[in-house]
Amino acid sequence: MISSGPARAGVPSSRQGPIALLCAGGALPFAVAEAMRLAGRQALIVAIAGIADPGLDRLGAHWLALGQLGKLFALLRRENCAGVVLVGAMQRPTLRSMRIDAIGWSYLFDFLRNVRRSDDGMLRGMLRWFEDQGFPVLSAGEVAPELLAPEGRIGQLAAPSEALAAAAQGFACLDAISPFDVGQALVSFGERIVAIEGAEGTDGLIDRIAELRRLGRLPRSGRDGLLLKGTKIGQSLKVDLPTIGPRTIERAAKAGLAGVVVEAGRVLVIEGQAVVAAADAAGLFLFGLKRDRSQ
Amino acid sequence: MISSGPARAGVPSSRQGPIALLCAGGALPFAVAEAMRLAGRQALIVAIAGIADPGLDRLGAHWLALGQLGKLFALLRRENCAGVVLVGAMQRPTLRSMRIDAIGWSYLFDFLRNVRRSDDGMLRGMLRWFEDQGFPVLSAGEVAPELLAPEGRIGQLAAPSEALAAAAQGFACLDAISPFDVGQALVSFGERIVAIEGAEGTDGLIDRIAELRRLGRLPRSGRDGLLLKGTKIGQSLKVDLPTIGPRTIERAAKAGLAGVVVEAGRVLVIEGQAVVAAADAAGLFLFGLKRDRSQ
């Protein structure tokens, strides 16, 4: 059974219907929907027009524009949805791309205030809207735990012990920048951290390594370098969980990286079999590192 | 008079000759030499072959290969040098580019151990060599204080108060990553930090912003964004002081940034007049922010 999630006090969900997947861009919505289907969990697919992949039509998606919150809440009530999952890549929207209905307008000010702040701020703000309407917001990891990175070696290759030491240091660095909400990934070469993810995202980060090697700012030859990805301290796990997929591995291989370490249990792996196959084929190690999050 | 610098206990410099500028790449060696000349301070120019600008010949440079430490120490003694300044951009050297003399070999192991660690480690290691030989190592800021960024508004445009708030937050972020020795600069848009400098250096960092705008990951139009540059917590001020020059400003302008904030008294400004002219011409603000370094 799926945990009903920590609904806000006074608004526990008594609804027994499907979980609504509110889908933004990228491949993650497909992966979550597929994992739920395989596990026999009911899902209602709601896709954001202009942002979500048109292929979600195949899954019977309901399409709504960003800002049509009145329509969305009505749909969730009609389908008796037990909860909502926000899933997929959210570009910072422009006002022009939004179609705002009457209910939507009442949320607009709150939205704009949050969107200016940071990704975390924007997403946290959206969580509250659903919970205020009595729909608990769940994480993709709660409704599709099969996608969460396992602990330990994931592919065929073992991670060398120096890589795990570098990973520990790298995670400490990501922890240090957590309050500034910059990024969730970095790349280190040996003990040296050479690149921290910013607005370019993980793909851009990896491409930067390839470019630095081409320019000779990093060693040109030899498989070297570690991509690290995990959650920020205190980030909501309900939105924006870090994600890797087969293309991440292919990109990392092309950039000459030696391996990838992700935070076990808190990073989503899309198309896990393809990810492992890509890592094995390219000779990259892939490792899930459990972090102590007790503080 | 120039401070003789904190020589290591037991090896105070009693020498009265020129300050040796040990020159690596880039424009900084010229700027320091010129500032010393204008101030009537004696300098001995020692250029590292294959790394320093060949134009240093005009200043009567002595050329040595990296690794010829025996020759270097002999030269410093012969000229009765009162101290040494390491100045200019140091690419991580390859063994092949080094010509190692008898004395150099005895330092090689120490060097290699440090070079693997980090820029700071490498440079700190080199400092010790000179001080062990009785040559105090001075900072470029000590021998050419005219180059240090002043406090407050530097160009014609004033920095908006929001930019100074963003700068304070940005410096806090740079402080947080200081222990990891990643970079000395970042770019923020409003309250959002979008890029942290890594191995690509400041030029590469600025180019990344231009690219992110082109891709639409950052607002495409309008002069926006702040470049921030300062020292790491606890970094040696004797080497690798952060530097900006006219090309930094031109690049920032091309990337559509609104302004540049540097740490007053701890960032070197090369060709200050040209820097101010470039900022004024492009409509960028330029500001020196004094940081409390008492902790």
pLDDT tens digits for range B17-61: 999 999 988 899 999 999 999 999 999 999 988 889 999 999 999
pLDDT band of B1, cuts 50, 70, 90? very low
Residues in chain B: 295
- Please report, as a single letter, which amino acid is at residue B55: G
Phi-psi region of B260 (alpha: psi -120 to 50; beta: other; left: phi over 0): beta
List the one residue out of B249, B256, B255 whose CA is nearest residue B274. Answer: B249
Please enumerate in sequence order all residues whose Cβ is within 8 A of that of A216, keeping only pairs 6 or more positions apart, or say none.
Answer: none
A10: confidence class by pLDDT, cuts 50, 70, 90: very low
Q: What part of A 231-260 touches B (C-beta under 8 Å)?
A: none
B269 Cβ contact list (under 8 Å, min separation 6):
B147, B148, B149, B154, B243, B244, B245, B262, B275
Q: What is the mean pLDDT of residues A7-30?
A: 78
Cβ neighbours of residue A20 under 8 Å, at least 6 residues apart?
A43, A44, A46, A75, A76, A79, A81, A83, A84, A85, A135
- Cβ contact, residue pair A181, B192, below 8 Å: yes
Predicted confidence at residue A110, as pLDDT, reads 60
Q: Which residues of B touch A201 (CB under 8 A)?
A: 217
Taking CA atoms, what residue in B is nearest to A211? B200
Shortest Cα–Cα distance, A113 to chain B (Å): 12
Average pLDDT of span B59-79:
91
The residue of chain B nearest to residue A196, with distances taken between CA atoms, is B196
Higher pLDDT among residues A256 and A123, named by residue: A256
pLDDT at B238: 79
> Which CA distances in Å does B166 have to A172, B173, B191, B279?
24, 11, 6, 19
pLDDT greater than 90 at residue B256: yes
What are φ and ψ of residue B148, in 5° steps?
Answer: -70, 140
At residue A5, the pLDDT reads 40
Mutation site, B118, B180, B209, interface A, largest A CB count within 10 A? B180
- Tell me: pLDDT of A27 over 80: yes
Residue B5 has pLDDT above 90, yes or no: no
Nearest to A186 by CA among A168, A171, A164: A171
pLDDT at A97 over 60: no
For residue B243, the cross-strand partners are B268
Amino acid occupying residue A71: K
Residue A103, pLDDT > 80, answer no
What are the chain A neighbours of B112 within 8 Å (beta carbons)? none
List the structure tokens of B255. 């990337």
Q: Given this model, what pLDDT does residue B236 score? A: 77
Q: By CB neighbour count within 10 A (0-12 exposed, 13-18 middle, 19+ buried), where does B295 fall?
A: exposed
- Written as six digits, the tokens of A241 are 């969980």
Alpha-carbon B187 to chain mean position: 18
| DSSP at A160 | P
Does the pLDDT at position A91 exceed 80?
no
Residue A269 has pLDDT above 60, yes or no: yes
For residue range B86-139, list pLDDT tens digits in order: 898 766 555 555 566 666 666 655 655 555 555 566 667 778 888 888 999 999
CA distance A195 to A177: 13
Q: In chain B, pLDDT over 70 holds for what percent of residues?
A: 83
The predicted pLDDT at position B18 comes to 97
Query: What is the per-residue pLDDT for A109?
Result: 57
Q: How far is CA B166 from the centre of its chain?
A: 23
Is A182 near chain B, with CB under 8 Å? Answer: yes
Residue A214, chain B, CB below 8 Å: the answer is: no
Chain A: residue nearest B91 by CA?
A217
- Residue of A176, A198, A212 with shortest CB distance to B199: A212
Nearest to A241 by CA among A99, A114, A123: A123
**What is the tens place of the pLDDT at every residue in B185-221?**
999 999 899 999 999 999 999 999 999 999 988 988 8
Q: For tokens 């289907």, what's the residue? A: A37
Report all structural domains of chain A as residue ranges with CATH numbers, in order of start.
19-145 (3.40.50.20), 148-289 (3.40.140.80)
Subunit contact A217:B200, Cβ cutoff 8 A: yes
Q: Which of A110-114, A140-144, B22-26 has the highest mean pLDDT?
A: A140-144
Task: Quickly count helices (H) and strands (E) in chain B.
Answer: 9, 13
* Axis-axis angle for helices A69-78, A102-117 (nearest 10): 110
Closest CA to A75 of A88, A60, A87, A54: A60
Nearest residue to A274 (alpha-carbon basis) of A147, A167, A187: A147
Q: Which site among B173, B174, B182 would you substitute to test the A interface, given the most A Cβ atoms closer than 10 Å to its Cβ?
A: B182
Lowest mean pLDDT segment, chosen from A80-94, A115-129, B41-55, B227-241: A115-129
CA distance to A93, A175, A233, B162, B180, per residue, from A295 (Å): 34, 12, 9, 33, 21
> Which range is least confidently modeled, A123-137, A221-235, B255-269?
A123-137
Check pLDDT > 90 for residue A20. Answer: yes
Which are the contacts of A96, defined by CB distance < 8 A and separation ≥ 6?
none
* Residue A191 to residue B116, Cβ atoms within 8 A: yes
Strand, helix or coil for residue A122: helix
Instruction: Quote the CA–CA distance of A170 and A176 in Å, as a whole number.
Output: 10
Sort B125 into a burial class: Cβ within 10 Å, 0-12 / 13-18 / 19+.
middle
Region A59-64 average pLDDT: 95
- Select from B177, B204, B208 the Cβ nearest to the Cβ of A200: B208
Contact B177 A196 (CB under 8 A): yes
Average pLDDT over residues B158-164: 95
Q: How close does chain A come to B218, measured CA to CA in Å?
A: 8
* Closest chain B residue to the Cα of A218, Cα to Cα: B199
- Of A116, A177, A187, nearest to B173 by CB-CB distance is A177
Q: What pLDDT digit, counting tens, does each position of B223-253 carry?
A: 999 999 999 988 878 777 899 999 999 999 9
pLDDT tens string A253-262:
999 999 999 9
- Checking if the pLDDT of A266 tops 80, the result is yes
CB-nearest partner of A173 from B180, B193, B211? B180
Residue A244 to residue A228: CA distance in whole angstroms:
11
A11 confidence band (pLDDT: 50, 70, 90): very low
Positive or negative: CA dihedral A186, B121, B81, B136 = positive
Listed range (A128-132, A222-226, B162-166, B264-268) with the worst mean pLDDT: A128-132
Which of B153 and A1 is assigned the larger pLDDT? B153
Please tell me the predicted confidence (pLDDT) of residue A89.
77
Which of A175, A182, A187 has the most B C-beta neighbours within 10 Å, making it the best mutation to test the interface with B?
A: A182
Q: What integer pLDDT is reported at residue B43 of this predicted model?
A: 97
C-alpha torsion sign, points A131, A134, A140, A143: positive
Whether residue A198 and residue B194 make contact (CB cut-off 8 A), yes or no, is yes
> For residue A174, which residues of chain B lie inside 8 Å, CB to CB?
none
Residues 59-98 of A with CB under 8 A from B: none
Question: Which of B196, B197, B220, B224 has the highest number of chain A CBs within 10 A, making it the mutation to test binding with A?
Answer: B196
Helix, strand or coil, per DSSP, at residue A136: coil
In angstroms, rounded to a whole number, what is the distance separating the alpha carbons of residues A170 and A178? 12
Average pLDDT of span A146-169: 96
- Does A277 reach chain B within 8 Å, measured CB to CB? no
